Amino acid sequence: MTEKYKIIHDRDICIGCSACASVCPKHWFMDNDGKSSIHNHTKTGNGEEEILGTNESPLTEDFEDNMDAAESCPVNCIHIHEVKEDGSDTELI
């Protein structure tokens, strides 16, 4: 089975340094408020944005680029979780 991942971005603590958008522009961009955002995200209601892979599009193609974006964030506001078959997830970063 293909591994699935979700990306969670805590925009409340984002400082707008643009490191993520520089490292992974396919998924990240600088929004009008000066903070980064995820292309095609879903708002979770907690000041966070989330993008979740599906069976058809499991977010594996750009996993390394998104991991680099998360690792480049100086305030650790990007979190990548592995989603298990039962729906539970484990935070990788």
Is residue 11 assigned to a domain?
Answer: yes
How far apart CA 28 and CA 86 sit, in angstroms, is 28
The count of domains in the chain is 1
The CATH number given to whatever domain includes residue 40 is: 3.30.70.20
Is residue 93 assigned to a domain?
Answer: no
> Domain range holding 51?
4-82
pLDDT tens track, the chain, 93 positions: 456 788 888 888 999 999 999 999 988 999 999 999 888 777 776 667 666 655 445 566 678 888 999 999 999 999 988 888 887 888 998
Q: In this predicted structure, what is the pLDDT of residue 14?
A: 94
Q: Which residue has the tokens 């650790």?
A: 76
Is residue 22 assigned to a domain?
Answer: yes
Q: In this predicted structure, what is the pLDDT of residue 47?
A: 67
How many helices (H) does the chain have, and how many strands (E)? 2, 7
